[in-house]
Chain A
Amino acid sequence: MFVIITYDINEERVNKVRKILKRYFVWVQNSVFEGEISIGKLEKCKKELQLVIVPEEDSIYFYIIENKNNYAKSILGLEKNMDSYIY
């Protein structure tokens, strides 16, 4: 499945969260990650994040698209072209 993640994290912890997300997803914008992932890996990632965040202050949103054919992405302005695995 395809997941888009956005987050609002207290400055003290934001780097920790980004580091974890970086291992699973592609960093597309300052507080946005996206990428394909399996259900198991996503759970693993969530567990890791739970250890870092403070639930009262931080929030992470997961937008899950079961079938990646059901989404389209269009870009205005600068395209960072971050989602390619051929480099």
Chain B
Amino acid sequence: MQKDLYIFSSGTIKRKENTIYFEPKEGEKKYFPIENISAIHLFGEVDINTKALNFFAQNNIIIHVYNYYGYYSGSYIPREKNVSGELLVKQVEHYLNKEERMYLAYSFVEGALFHMQRNLREYENTEEFIFKIKQELEKAGTCNDINELMGCEGRARDAYYDAFNVILKGKFLFEKREKRPPKNPINALISFGNSLTYSAVLSEIYKTQLNPTISYLHEPRERRFSLSLDISEIFKPLITDTIIFKLINNNMLKDEDFDQDVNYCYLSESGRKKFIKEFETKMDTTIKHRKLGRNVSYRFLIRLECYKLIKHLLKDEIYKPLKAWW
């Protein structure tokens, strides 16, 4: 129900009359209902003062900041109220225990590969790619260490991206996955979409007691919230990729939606807005949950994934990755 606010224009964000007030450099000033916003994403050049930051902290609003190219660069997170020493100890314990870690890492890969196959099944002539992914999934089951597992995941992903040329209609071609910087429109879309998924997962992790820096599939290192990377794996094919297929196969993107030069390609502001619109619609889409017996949104599914992980860590219920059943 709560929405995310995306700000592309440059201007100032203020606290005014106990709600969010945005004063753009040009254009109309605007109020946003604080009670209905759960996170703010800043893409433009925005000024903000401590009064506003305090106010956001009070209301539990996370602020995600993206750089000029639309990449996630950091967050302002209100003082964490959901802290749990016990869970942190368990999280670390599962990381240090090789078997436990392998189990969780494998689960994330399993979820990711399952959703990749599910995406491909929707389209014709993708059997060979599905077969390849299936093979890698089997291999992943027999891996002994994380590097091998990452290798399987990588090869499966290569096969998956190869299938993009079969799936995608129109003039957009996908040669190979290139990051930093993305070199063609599809890479730009994948990068931007993953960036959004990543911060959405992070927002949800912060609503639980999990510590976002301790992860299982990705190596937990400095300067990044790697648990968010782990959980994103499951949701990337489910959210980012389906949006990309929709945008391209329905011819919703034009040349001016990309900022292109010789060695890079980024989404332009109009392109980002289109993507975000689809992203928000997707996140608000609801599915009847089999176990809960009620409708839950994609956004809430991410949170449920965190809860499942907590249950696993506390030895309450064994973790099984989400497998879309609809």
List the interface of chain A (C-beta within 8 A of B): 19, 22-27, 35-38, 41, 44-45, 82, 85-87
Check if B36 sits within 8 Å of A87, measured CB to CB: no
Q: Mark B270-298, 1 if CB is under 8 A from A, else 0.
A: 00010011001000000000000000000
Check if A19 sits within 8 Å of B17, measured CB to CB: yes
Residue of A nearest to B17 (CB): A19
Give CA–CA (A27, B31) in the complex, Å.
8
Check if A37 sits within 8 Å of B31, measured CB to CB: no
Please pick, from B6, B31, B35, the residue contacting A85 in the complex, using a CB distance under 8 A: B6
Known: A86-B8, A86-B273. A37 touches B1 (CB 8 A): yes
Check if B36 sits within 8 Å of A37, measured CB to CB: yes
B184-234: which have CB < 8 Å to A?
none
B63-96: which have CB < 8 Å to A?
none
Q: Please name all residues of chain B whose beta carbon is closer than 8 Å to the beta carbon of A38 when the two chains form the complex.
A: 1
Sorting the interface of chain B by its residue count into under 10, 10 to 19, 20 to 34 or 35 or more gives 20 to 34
Q: Please name all residues of chain A whose beta carbon is closer than 8 Å to the beta carbon of B37 when the two chains form the complex.
A: 85
Please pick, from A19, A44, A87, the residue contacting B8 in the complex, using a CB distance under 8 A: A87
Known: A23-B18, A23-B19. A86 touches B6 (CB 8 A): yes
Check if A87 sits within 8 Å of B9, measured CB to CB: yes
- Check if B4 is an interface residue, CB within 8 A of chain A: yes
Check if B36 sits within 8 Å of A35, measured CB to CB: yes
Known: A22-B31, A23-B35, A37-B36. A87 touches B19 (CB 8 A): no
Residue of B nearest to A82 (CB): B30
Check if A26 sits within 8 Å of B9, measured CB to CB: no
Give CA–CA (A36, B7) in the complex, Å.
20
Residue of A nearest to B31 (CB): A22
Q: Please name all residues of chain A whose beta carbon is closer than 8 Å to the beta carbon of B30 when the two chains form the complex.
A: 82, 87
List the interface of chain B (C-beta within 8 A of A): 1, 3-9, 17-19, 22, 24, 30-37, 273, 276-277, 280
Give CA–CA (A61, B5) in the complex, Å.
27
Check if B1 sits within 8 Å of A85, measured CB to CB: no
Check if B36 sits within 8 Å of A36, measured CB to CB: yes
Give CA–CA (A22, B17) in the complex, Å.
8
Check if B33 sits within 8 Å of A25, measured CB to CB: yes
Give CA–CA (A22, B20) in the complex, Å.
9
Check if B18 sits within 8 Å of A87, measured CB to CB: no
CB<8 Å pairs between A and B, sample of 16: A23-B34, A23-B35, A24-B33, A27-B31, A35-B36, A36-B3, A41-B1, A44-B35, A45-B35, A82-B30, A85-B3, A85-B32, A86-B6, A87-B8, A87-B22, A87-B24
Q: Please name all residues of chain A whose beta carbon is closer than 8 Å to the beta carbon of B8 when the two chains form the complex.
A: 86-87
Give CA–CA (A82, B22) in the complex, Å.
13
A-B pairs with lowest CB-CB distance, top 9: A86-B6, A23-B19, A38-B1, A24-B35, A19-B17, A85-B3, A85-B5, A22-B19, A23-B34
Check if A86 sits within 8 Å of B33, measured CB to CB: no
Check if A35 sits within 8 Å of B33, measured CB to CB: yes
Give CA–CA (A36, B276) in the complex, Å.
19
Give CA–CA (A87, B41) in the complex, Å.
10
Give CA–CA (A74, B44) in the complex, Å.
31
Check if A85 sits within 8 Å of B4, measured CB to CB: yes
Q: Please name all residues of chain A whose beta carbon is closer than 8 Å to the beta carbon of B9 when the two chains form the complex.
A: 87
Q: Please name all residues of chain B whose beta carbon is closer than 8 Å to the beta carbon of A87 when the two chains form the complex.
A: 5-9, 22, 24, 30
Residue of B nearest to A19 (CB): B17
